[in-house]
Amino acid sequence: MEKDNFLTETKTSESDILYEHFYFKADQGQSPLRVDKFLMSRIEKVTRNKIQRAAKEGSIFVNDQAVKSNYKVKAEDQIKVLFSYPPYENLLLPEKIDLDIVYEDNILLVLNKPTGLVVHPGHGNYSGTLLNGLLYHFEQLPTNANNRPGLVHRIDKDTSGLLVVAKTEEAMSHLAKQFFDKTSKRKYLALVWGDFDEDQGTVTGSIGRNQKNRLQMTVFENNSKGKDAVTHFKVLERFGYVTLLECQLETGRTHQIRAHMKFTGHTLFNDARYGGDKILKGTNFTKYKQFVENCFLLMPRQALHAKTLGFIHPKTEEKMEFDSPIPQDFESVLQKFRQYAQHKKLL
């Protein structure tokens, strides 16, 4: 559950209807704005009709008073909205979804998640998720604190790569502790805008929700807000206008690499949420612009891949490490930039 001006959780009412609950506190500089527009800008994948329906049901509250959709939000208003949807167990229906399993035994499995696949049901994604697929292939999975069977960790919808899934309570507890104690190994490939003076480095700074854009995470340098986050990076290849990095996570915050890279001025290539879907380095000459746009078409998502995953096996205590091949879309863009960089050297 997020604190810091934003909450999303599920609650059951006396009539046993499950609600998705969001809470916001308007900033001190908030100018008057209709509450429906305010919520549209802060809740991912919500529709205007859904907000209007919540208002008609008396489920939008400002300072604990139900309001209509045309209410004007003012500075420091406290806004709460309840969206009703079917009971959560109905969201966790088994669905036949192919899984790319790279390792499996009787207590855990490691799989390679493709880009575009949401890990677990949530607002706007109530079906067709990895978790729905896991429930189809495995009848019984242990449930974590967030009621997500088998899941020890997650990666974003448009990030590809490796995930470990627990099949027993013992494995769930043991693996979760490794992630909490920072003893697991997670390395990502990231293509970012710009070049680096150094060959390797570390990005620190607590990560919390962006106060101006609630769909982004941001870095707070003084650690007064958010949660501590540490990302180590190493330059693998330099292409001039973009750089291929290996990023190793010491912590596992939401959008950690995406937020940390934007903070350093090296936003992920084609990361639309953080502004990486624009030309951030290089010229605006027609040929270069067309080249970059072609790369965007080849990889229509942020250039981030969870390549390496390591942990201690909960039962055998064996040190295990897995490596995932670079997806075709990512590799195609790398090849284009290699050719582009080589062409520039020859000029």
The pair of structure tokens assigned to 250 is: 């010491």
> Which residue from 153, 158, 239, 134 is spatially nearest to 196, judged by alpha carbons?
239
Short-list 302, 312, 39, CA closest to 183: 312
Q: Is 65 exposed, middle or buried (0-12, 13-18, 19+ CB in 10 A)?
A: exposed
Residues in the chain, overall count: 347
Cα(231)–Cα(259) distance, integer angstroms: 10
**How far apart are the C-alpha atoms of 80 and 301, rounded to whole Å?**
32
Q: What is the CA radius of gyration of the chain?
A: 22
77 labelled catalytic: no
C-alpha span between 44 and 40 (Å, rounded) = 8
Amino acid at site 158: D
CB 81 within 8 A of CB 66: no
Give the separation between CA 182 and CA 159, rounded to whole angstroms: 21
**CA nearest to 8, candidates 207, 214, 155, 260:** 214
The counts of H helices and E strands in the chain are 8, 18
What CA–CA distance (Å, rounded) separates 13 from 11?
6
In the structure encoding, which two tokens stand for residue 271, read together? 């990361």
- Short-list 160, 161, 84, CA closest to 126: 84
SS3 104: strand
Which residue in 156, 158, 271, 277 is the catalytic one?
156
Active site residues: 156
